[in-house]
Structure 1
Amino acid sequence: MNAGPYPQPRADAPLVVFDFDHTLYDGDSGSHLFAWLIRRNPLRVLAALLATPVLGPMVALLPTRRWGISGYAWIGSFGLHRVREFDRVIDRYVATHREEIAQRLLPVALDVLARHRARGDRVVVATGAPPELARAILGFVAHEDVTVIGTAVGVRLGAVVATRHCHSEEKMRMLRERGHGDIDVAYSDSTADLPLLRAARRPVVVNPKRGRVAFFRQALPPGTPILNWGCRDRGGDPDGDALL
C-alpha cells in the first residue's frame, strides 16, 4: 500500500539518494542524540570528558571514525542491553525534542525530496546516523515511509556501539547490498561521500563546508551544482535549483 500522496515508484524509476546530516537536517543528528544521552547522567558526562582526548581525534579521521563514534555511543548508551531498547530511547528523544528537531529540518531540502517523490522517483536516504533516528525525524514531515539505510548498531559490553558505519565506501556497499547500485542523482554535503557522488549520473553537492567548495569543484565533473539549502555556516549557491 502506498503511504502518503506520492505515486508508487516503478521498479525502473530513477534512483535518488540523499545524505541526511547537513543535507536534509541542519547539523549532525547522531551527535545531538548521543550528547543528550550523555548529558542525562553526570557520570557519563565525566566519562565523555575523560575519553575525548582519545575519541575526539578518532572521530575526526576517516579510518578511525567508526571507533570514535562507537566510543561515545557506548558511553551514552551504557545499561542498554538490546537494540530494541536503544530504538525506544531514540523515539523518546525525538518525541521530547520535537520543536528543536523540526527547526533543523531544511525546507528547501524537503521540497526537493518531495518533488522527487511526486515525480515517481525511487528515493533512499543513506546516513551515518542510526536509521531509526532518521526515520523518526522524517516522520515529522510525512516521509517516514522513505527507505533509510543507516549505521548498524549492536550491543557490546553492556551498551550500544556501531557495528557497521554507513559512511564513505561502506555506504556504497550497503546501498548495493540493498539493490541500490545504479544511482541517477545523489545529494550530499560531505567529502566522505565522494564515492556516492561519483557513482551518481548527476551528483549535487549541498551545504558543503566553505573550505571544501574548491575541492568539490576539482573532484567532480564540471558543472556539478554546489548549492546551499539553508545551512547558514556552510557554503554553496543559495539560489540554485538542483531539480531540473
Structure 2
Amino acid sequence: MHTGDATELPETVAVAVPRTVLFDFDGVLIYGDSFYQFVRHRYAQAWPRKLLAFLSLPWLLLQLPFSRRLVMRSLVHTAFLGVNEQRYVAAAQSFAAMLVRRPKQFNRDALQALRRHQAAGDRVIVVTGCEHTLVSSILQQLGLGDIEVVASQFRPSPFGMRVKLHNIGRQKVKQLSARGIDAWHLAYSDSSVDIPMLKVASEAVLVNGEPVLCKKIERALGRSVTRVEWY
C-alpha cells in the first residue's frame, strides 16, 4: 500500500510522456453527490414535487426491497417531470453556478492535482456517475470547461427528462471503450464501485480512503493502490 500527502501526486506523474488520467467527480473533486444535491434542490423549490413524491410513496416502498436503484430513478424522474431539455439545461447551469459559490464544497487539493496533470500535458478525463450537463456546467464554472467528460446521460421524453444511461461501475469502462479509450495510466477514485475502472489503470489512486476500503480495493485488484489525503 502506497501513501501520498495532500501536496504530492503519485511518483509516476514525474514521467514526461503524456498519459491518460481519469478522475472520478463525486467524492474526489467535489464533496458529496452533486446530482443528489441537484435533485434535493429541485424538490425544495416546489411543493407540488414533494406532494407527488409523497403520493408515490406506497408504490416506492413496494419496490424498495427489490431495487433501490429503481426507487431512486423514480424520484429523479419525478423531480424533472414536465421539464423539457431546454429547461433542464437552464436549471442545471443555474444550480452549477450556485454550487460553486458554496464555501468548502470542492476538494482544493484534488482540483490542483487535476490542473497539474493538465500542465504536464496529460489527457485528463472526468469519468462520473453524475449527469453530463450538470457536471459539465460545474466544471465550466470552475474554469475547467475544456476537460473531457464521460458521464451519465438524460434523454427528453413526453413526460420530462428521463435517465438514458447511468455511468457507474463497469459502465464507466464500457463508455470509455466506446470512445476508443481502452487503457489509462492513472485513475483517481474514492469508492469501491470504481473497481472496474481502477483495475485497468496502471496506477490506481484512492482519495481519502479509509484503510478498510483500501484493503478491499487492493484485494479486488490483486495489487497495491496509492493513497492520498486531499482536502
TM-score by length of 2: 0.82
The CA deviation at 1:98 is: 3.5
**After superposition, what is the alpha-carbon deviation per residue over 1:219-243, rounded to whole angstroms, capped at 9, x for unaligned?**
234431123322xxxxxxxxxxxxx
Specify whether residues 98 and 60 from structure 1 end up closer, same or farther in structure 2 by C-alpha distance, changes over 3 A only.
farther
Q: 1:13 aligns with which of 13, 18, 37?
A: 18
Instruction: State the alpha-carbon separation in 2 of the partners of residues 217 and 196 from structure 1.
Output: 13
**8 Å Cα contact 1:38/1:75 also seen in 2:** no
Moved more, 200-209 or 24-33: 200-209
Q: Hey, what does 2:161 align to over in structure 1?
A: 160
Could you say if the C-alpha distance between residues 26 and 155 of structure 1 is closer, same or farther in structure 2, counting changes exceeding 3 Å?
same
Residue number in structure 1 paired with 2:188: 187
How far did residue 116 of structure 1 move?
0.5
SS state at 2:130 partner: coil
For 2:212 and 2:65, locate their aligned partners in 1 and report how far apart those are by CA, in whole Å.
Answer: 16
Q: Tell me the residue number matched to 1:35.
A: 40
- 2:80 aligned residue: 77
Matched length: 215
Inter-CA distance 49–122: structure 2 relative to 1 (3 Å threshold):
same
- Pick the structure with more strand per residue: 2
Distance 1:106 1:59 in 2: 33
**RMSD of the alignment, in Å?**
2.6
17-26 vs 141-150, which moves further: 141-150
User: Could you tell me whether the CA contact under 8 Å between 2:28 and 2:189 is conserved in 1?
Assistant: yes
Give deviations 1:29-52, integer Å, cap 9, x for gaps: 000001101111112123334556
Q: Which residue does 1:92 correspond to in 2?
A: 94
In 2, Cα distance between the equivalents of 1:215 and 1:71?
A: 31
Q: Which has the higher contact order (CA 8 A, sep 6+)?
A: 2
Report if aligned partners of 2:93, 2:138 keep a CA contact under 8 Å in 1. Answer: no
Per the TM alignment, residue 68 of structure 1 is displaced from its structure 2 partner at its CA by: 3.6
| Counterpart Cα distance in 1 of 2:132 and 2:173 | 16
Q: Does the CA contact (< 8 Å) of 1:71 and 1:161 recur in 2?
A: no
1:192, 1:59 → 2: CA distance?
20
Letter in 1 for 2:88: F
Which runs of structure 2 are paired with 1:62-141 in the superposition (5 Å)? 65=69, 67-81=70-84, 83-100=85-102, 103-141=104-142
In structure 2, distance between residues paired with 1:186 and 1:30: 21
Q: Equivalents in 1 of 2:59, 2:18: separation in Å?
A: 45
Counterpart residue type for residue 29 of structure 1: S
Q: Please tell me the residue identity of whatever aligns with 2:35.
A: G
Aligned counterparts of 1:53 and 1:175: Cα–Cα separation in 2: 38
SS in 1 for 2:125: strand
- Partner SS state of residue 230, structure 2: coil
Does residue 215 in structure 1 map to residue 216 in structure 2? yes
Q: Report the counterpart of residue 226 of structure 2 in structure 1.
A: 225
Q: TM-score normalised to the size of structure 1?
A: 0.78
Give CA deviations for 1:63-108 in whole Å, capped at 9, x if unaligned.
763x344212211111112x232111101112234422x6311111
In structure 2, C-alpha distance between the alignment counterparts of 1:225 and 1:53, rounded to whole Å: 45
CA deviation after TM superposition for structure 1 residue 20, in Å: 0.2
- C-alpha distance in structure 2 between counterparts of 1:183 and 1:60, whole Å: 37
1:156 Cα offset (Å): 3.6
